[in-house]
């Protein structure tokens, strides 16, 4: 009996995808499943103490996954040329959302940052949702840079700068840096002149230095990163607790659900520092397994980029790899003390509806590029079956029209 008969609800069109697309699809699902399990473990004590429901955060995360999966399935079955046609409109809507958060009385503040718009009991973070559309728009602009007029080039450079500056004013230095790095690496992959690249890199470093100099809390984060034990009860407390969690995991970890640091020692343990809980419960072996998964994901993205049919598709694949894998590595580096504390979530792990939806859209874009980069995905199975008799009759007519020598 065939697989399609054994599993009626199975997405049979996925059986005809290119092998890169199938691997990326299952990697995404495994990533989500593991992340949801860790988020359940990390958030249960906080949900039980503050909401009398240990599954409070898991339930809300499942809603975000359900919404994200709708978009995911639409995107993996939609040609990229259609997505590129509407990407600029979505980009401008989300940019307007970022600007709205800066208006007094409109944006919602959490932990000192005004980055959210409240919709009922849910918070929408436009700076997270705009990430996949930064990839699409920058791939469109840099992928056909030589064919654009200077008016168009300068217009989009100005739009990108407005976006980065608006995110920085929220304030959100870490997301600004990540979006800027993503734009810069996509431009590098597109082959833009080094003069432009190094000029923008210098301007970005200058802006980051200025932001740290003017904002005391950012300066204190950098100082506590350099020596957290200088102030173990205040600025260095978060990093010290994270390092204790990572170190206490040992080789094999304490076991799923048995983290001690998540019991009101480690702050925001289900968002920015969720990797510390993962490392404590699964140890060095689990951490290396996660790093291996990220390596496989990055390798698959590079393979897809190499096989891409045009420059724009190649840049989309590279952009998704930079965003998903780069953000993951930055989050892990923060939890292990290799980088100063930032507010970047770990994709598919950290609690947050906007981050989950954004990550699913990015994953869908990469899978779609993989599908369009392979000759195996030209039409769906049903379309091929409907076209097969027509093509067969056409070949027979051609054979009858050829005279026998």
Pick from 124, 9, 112: which is nearest to 63 by CA? 124
Q: Which two tokens stand for residue 241?
A: 């607790």
C-alpha distances (whole Å) from 397 to each of 384, 386, 387, 400, 404 are 20, 18, 16, 5, 14
Angle made by CA atoms 384, 386, 388, in degrees to the nearest 5: 65
How many Cα atoms occupy the beta-carbon half-sphere of 15 within 13 Å? 10
- Judge contact between 209 and 196, C-beta under 8 A: no
State whether residue 109 is helix, strand or coil. Answer: strand
Residue-by-residue pLDDT tens, the chain, 405 positions = 444 444 333 454 556 788 999 999 999 999 999 999 999 999 999 999 999 999 999 999 999 999 999 999 999 999 998 888 899 999 999 999 999 998 887 777 776 667 888 887 788 999 999 999 999 999 999 999 999 999 999 999 999 999 999 999 888 888 999 999 999 999 999 999 999 899 999 988 888 888 887 777 777 777 777 788 877 778 788 899 999 999 999 999 999 999 999 988 888 899 999 999 999 999 999 999 999 999 999 999 999 999 998 999 999 999 999 999 999 999 999 999 888 888 899 999 999 999 999 999 999 999 999 999 875 444 444 444 555 555 555 555 544 444 434
User: What's the predicted TM-score (pTM) here?
Assistant: 0.87
What integer pLDDT is reported at residue 1 of this predicted model?
Answer: 43
Distance CA 366, CA 376 (A): 16
Q: How far apart are CA 246 and CA 49, in angstroms?
A: 24
Could you tell me the residue ranges of all domains in the chain? Answer: 13-146+154-374
Q: Are 41 and 277 in contact (CB under 8 A)?
A: yes
Between CA 41 and CA 18 the distance in angstroms is 35
Residue 186 contacts residue 138 (beta carbons within 8 Å): yes
CA distances (Å), 312 to each of 145, 192, 209, 308, in order? 11, 14, 33, 9
SS3 of residue 108 by DSSP? strand
Give kind and range of the element (H or E) at residue 114.
Answer: strand 113-119
Distance (Å) of CA 399 to CA 328, 402, 403, 404, 405:
57, 5, 8, 10, 13
The per-residue pLDDT for 48 is 93
Q: What is the pLDDT of residue 20?
A: 92
Quote the pLDDT of residue 393. Answer: 57
Residue 272 backbone phi and psi in degrees, to 5:
-65, -30
Q: CA-to-CA distance for 211 and 207, rounded, in angstroms?
A: 6
Taking residue 225's Cβ as centre, other Cβ atoms within 10 Å add up to 17
Give CA–CA dist 228/237, Å, rounded. Answer: 7
**C-alpha closest to that of 173 among 139, 205, 135, 132:** 205
Q: Which SS3 state, helix, strand or coil, does residue 18 take?
A: coil
ω into 171 cis (within 30 of 0): yes
Please state, in angstroms and rounded to a whole number, the distance separating the CA atoms of residues 134 and 319: 9
For 169, counting Cβ atoms within 10 Å of its Cβ (0-12 exposed, 13-18 middle, 19+ buried), the class is middle
The confidence score (pLDDT) of residue 385 equals: 54
pLDDT recorded at residue 387: 52
């Amino acid at each position: 009996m065939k697989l399609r008969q054994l599993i009626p609800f199975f997405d049979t069109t996925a059986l005809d995808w290119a092998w890169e697309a199938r691997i990326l699809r299952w990697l995404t699902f495994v990533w989500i499943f593991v992340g949801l399990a860790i988020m359940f473990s990390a958030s249960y004590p906080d949900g039980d103490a503050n909401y009398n429901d240990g599954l409070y955060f898991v339930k809300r995360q499942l809603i975000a996954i359900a919404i994200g999966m709708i978009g995911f399935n639409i995107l993996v079955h939609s040609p990229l040329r259609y997505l590129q046609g509407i990407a600029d409109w979505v980009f401008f809507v989300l940019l307007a959302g970022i600007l709205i958060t800066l208006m007094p009385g409109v944006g919602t503040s959490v932990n000192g940052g005004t980055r959210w718009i409240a919709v009922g009991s849910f918070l929408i973070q436009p700076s997270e949702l705009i990430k996949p559309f930064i990839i699409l728009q920058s791939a469109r602009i840099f992928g056909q840079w030589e064919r654009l007029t200077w008016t168009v080039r300068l217009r989009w450079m100005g739009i990108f700068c407005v976006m980065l500056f608006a995110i920085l004013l929220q304030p959100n230095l870490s997301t600004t840096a990540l979006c800027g790095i993503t734009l810069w690496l996509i431009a590098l992959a597109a082959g833009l002149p080094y003069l432009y690249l190094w000029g923008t890199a210098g301007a970005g470093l200058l802006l980051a230095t200025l932001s740290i100099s003017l904002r005391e809390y950012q300066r204190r984060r950098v100082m506590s990163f350099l020596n957290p034990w200088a102030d173990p009860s205040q600025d260095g407390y978060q990093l010290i607790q994270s390092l204790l969690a990572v170190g206490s995991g040992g080789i094999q970890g304490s076991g799923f659900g048995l983290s001690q640091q998540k019991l009101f020692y480690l702050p925001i343990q289900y968002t920015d520092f969720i990797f510390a809980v993962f490392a404590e419960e699964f140890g060095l072996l689990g951490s290396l397994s996660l790093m291996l998964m990220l390596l496989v994901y990055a390798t698959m993205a590079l393979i897809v980029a190499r096989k891409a049919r045009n420059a724009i598709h190649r840049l989309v694949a590279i952009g998704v790899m930079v965003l998903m894998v780069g953000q993951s590595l930055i989050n892990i580096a923060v939890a292990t003390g290799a980088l100063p504390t930032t507010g970047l979530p770990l994709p598919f792990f950290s609690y947050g509806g906007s981050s989950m939806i954004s990550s699913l859209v990015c994953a869908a874009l990469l899978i779609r590029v993989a599908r369009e980069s392979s000759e195996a995905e030209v039409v769906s199975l049903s379309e091929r079956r409907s076209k097969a008799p027509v093509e067969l009759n056409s070949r027979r007519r051609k054979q009858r029209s050829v005279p026998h020598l």
